[in-house]
Amino acid sequence: MIKKGLIFGLIFTILLINCVSANSFILVSEDEIKDSVFLSETAIFKLSIHNNQDFQDTFRFSILDIGWEFETIPSTLTLDSGEIGEVEVLFSPDSDFNEGKYGITALIYSIADSNIFTEHIFDIRVIDFYDVLTTAVQIPTDINPQKQVVFNVDFNNNHDVNIENFEVILKSQFFEEKKTISLMPYETIKEEFVVEFSGAVSDGSYDLILEVYNGDELLIERDYDMLIGYYPEVNEQRSPESGFLIKSVTVVKSNYGTTTSHELYTKRFSFFERLFTSVSPEPTTTFRSGSAYTLQWDFDLAPGEYKEIVVTTNYRSLAIIFIILSGLFGYYYYYRKEDIAITKRVVNVRHSHEGISTINVLLVLKNKSGKLLKNLKVMDNLVNVADNPTNFGTIKPTIIRKGLGGVKMIWNIETLERGAEVIISYQAKCNVQVIGHLNIPLAVAKYIKRKRPIIVKSNKVKLFS
C-alpha cells in the first residue's frame, strides 16, 4: 500500500509540473475597457499574450462558461518566439441573467501542442437598468393644447456607471418628442420636452408614455396620466414704435381663459444693442451665449389679468458722444495738426590735425498738408563753430548771425506746394574737442495757420568725434 501511494504521488507531481511548465509558455495580462454592462451591452477587455516559447505558435481562445456570447478580435493570434500580441475580447450576457458579478474562465491554448495552454478569469458586473436609472415626469396641471407645453423630466443615475447616448421618447396620441441623454455616475439632470399638440383635443385623461432605449432595445417604459381640462386663453398684442435713433416695443399679454396660464416671453439682443436697451419691468432671468444676450420674463397670468412689457433701444446718447468726439477730432485736425515736418541730419564729418572738424548738415522740410503753404521760415544754429557756415545749396539763408554762443541762420521759404520737399544744406567747421560731448541744436520751422504762428521742431542729432 505504501508503494502504491508513492507511485500515485509521483505521477501527480509529474502532471502538475507539466501543467505549470505548460502555463509558463503563455503569459497573459488584462486591460479592462468596459467590465460593467447592462444586459443588452457587451463587456470589452484588451488581452496581451506573450509567447514565451522558443518557436512561432498560433493561439486560439474559448470559454468554459455557458450563457455568454464570446468573441475575440482576431479569432486566432500568431506570435513569434518572445513576441507579445493583443486581442480584443468581447462578452455578451444572455437576457435571463440576474444582476451580479460573474467570473468567466477563458482558455488560451496552443494549436501546435494541445498540452500548452493557460486559463484567465474575467470579472464582469451585470447591472439591471431599472435599478440604475430612475425617472420622474412633471406634468403641468393647466395643459393648454392650443399652445406649446413644457414637460420637465428628471433623470437620476443611481450607480457608478456611465449612461451614454440613450434615447428618451415622451409621447402620447397627440405628440412624440425625442432626446438623447448621457449621465455620469450618480449624476442627476433635468430635461425639458417642449411639445405641440396635433389633431382635435377634448377634455379628459390621456396616457403619457416615457420610453428609454439603448440602441433598439427598450429598457424602461413608464405610463402616466395626463389630464386635459380647463385651459387659459392668452392674447398677445405688440405695439412697436420708432423715432430718430430710438425704437421701442410694448408687449401686452392678457388671459381671457378660465384658468391660470404660465407665460414665457423672451427677447434676444446683441452685445451692442444690450448696452443701449432699457426694459420695464426687469426680466426674470438673463442668459449670455457668446456675444448675444437673451432676456426672459417668466410669470403667471390669472384669468382676467394682463402683463405689460416695454423694451426700448435708444441710440441718442451714443450719437451725442459721437458728435462730441467728432468735434474734438476736428478741432485737433484743423487747429493742432502740424502741416509740415522738418528733419535734420549730419551727413558727413571730416577731422583735421589742427583740432577742427568739418561737418555737412542737411535740413529737409516737407509739406504734409493737402494745400499750398506760404511764408515759411526755417531756423538753425550751431555752437562752438570756428567760422561762418559755407557751401550752401540752392537755397541760401536770409540771415547769418554769429555770436559768442555760436551761429544762427534763417531761411525764408515763400511757397511750398502740397506734398513737396525743400532740401537745405550747408557746411560748418567746429572745434573737435567739444564735438564728442555735444548734442547738435534742433532746427525749427515756423509758419502761420489761421492767424496763429505754428512752430515745428526737428529731430535730435548727436555728433561724436
Instruction: Write the CATH number for 197.
Output: 2.60.40.10
Q: Write the CATH number for 56.
A: 2.60.40.3880
Evaluate whether 136 touches 189 at the Cβ level (below 8 Å). Answer: no
* Single residue among 196, 228, 260 that ends a domain in this structure: 228
- Assess if residue 201 is contained within a domain: yes
83 and 113 housed in the same domain? yes
* Single residue among 167, 196, 228 that ends a domain in this structure: 228
Q: List, as one string, the DSSP characters of 33-47.
A: EE-EEETTS-EEEEE
What pLDDT, on a 0 to 100 scale, did the predictor assign at position 199?
A: 84
For the chain, count helices (H), then strands (E).
5, 33
- Assess if residue 12 is contained within a domain: no
Other residues' Cβ atoms within 10 Å of the Cβ of residue 338: 15
199 and 242 housed in the same domain? no
452 and 355 housed in the same domain? yes
As a whole number of angstroms, the longest Cα–Cα distance in the chain is: 144
* Single residue among 75, 105, 126 that ends a domain in this structure: 126
The residue assigned the cell 436609472 is 133
Domain span holding position 178: 130-228
Residue pLDDT tens, the chain, 465 long: 444 444 444 444 444 434 444 567 889 988 878 877 777 778 899 999 999 999 999 999 988 777 788 889 998 999 999 999 999 999 888 767 777 888 888 899 999 888 899 988 888 888 777 778 889 999 988 787 888 899 999 999 988 888 889 999 999 999 999 999 999 989 999 999 999 999 888 778 899 999 999 888 888 899 999 988 776 678 888 888 887 888 888 999 888 766 778 888 888 888 888 888 888 899 999 888 888 888 899 989 887 789 999 999 888 877 788 888 887 776 666 555 788 999 999 887 787 767 677 888 999 999 988 889 999 999 998 887 777 888 898 889 999 988 877 889 999 999 999 889 999 999 888 775 554 555 678 999 999 887 888 889 988 887 665
What pLDDT, on a 0 to 100 scale, did the predictor assign at position 6?
A: 45
442 and 351 housed in the same domain? yes
- Enumerate the H helices of 287-425 as residue ranges: 316-331
184 and 249 housed in the same domain? no
85 and 189 housed in the same domain? no
What pLDDT, on a 0 to 100 scale, did the predictor assign at position 16?
A: 40
> What is the distance, to the nearest Å, from the Cα of residue 344 to the centroid of all Cα atoms in its chain?
52
What pLDDT, on a 0 to 100 scale, did the predictor assign at position 7?
A: 45
- Enumerate the H helices of 176-243 as residue ranges: none
Task: Identify the H or E element spanning 273.
Answer: helix 271-275
Please count the CA atoms within 13 angstroms of the CA of 352 that sit on its side-chain side: 10
249 and 172 housed in the same domain? no
With the CA atoms of 276, 278, 282 and 287 taken in that order, what torsion angle do they form, in degrees rounded to the nearest 10? -30
From 317, 325, 322, select the one nearest 276 (Cα to Cα).
317
Evaluate whether 261 touches 300 at the Cβ level (below 8 Å). Answer: yes
How far does the chain reach from its first CA to its final CA, in angstroms? Answer: 122
Residue 442, strand partner residues: none
d(CA 196, CA 148): 5
- Assess if residue 333 is contained within a domain: no
What pLDDT, on a 0 to 100 scale, did the predictor assign at position 59?
A: 92
d(CA 145, CA 184): 35
From 340, 332, 328, 333, select the one nearest 448 (Cα to Cα).
340
348 and 458 housed in the same domain? yes
d(CA 216, CA 220): 12
What pLDDT, on a 0 to 100 scale, did the predictor assign at position 334?
A: 57
DSSP-derived pairing of the beta strands 306-314 and 246-255: antiparallel
- Assess if residue 145 is contained within a domain: yes
Residue 263, strand partner residues: 299
- Assess if residue 371 is contained within a domain: yes
355 and 281 housed in the same domain? no
347 and 291 housed in the same domain? no
Cell of 464: 561724436
446 and 376 housed in the same domain? yes
User: How many domains, the chain?
Assistant: 4
Measured in residues, the chain has a length of 465
Q: Write the CATH number for 359.
A: 2.60.40.740
The residue assigned the cell 516737407 is 366
- Assess if residue 211 is contained within a domain: yes
From 265, 254, 266, 237, select the one nearest 302 (Cα to Cα).
254
- Assess if residue 2 is contained within a domain: no
With the CA atoms of 369, 373, 376 and 380 taken in that order, what torsion angle do they form, in degrees rounded to the nearest 10? 30
What pLDDT, on a 0 to 100 scale, did the predictor assign at position 13?
A: 42
- Assess if residue 328 is contained within a domain: no
267 and 368 housed in the same domain? no
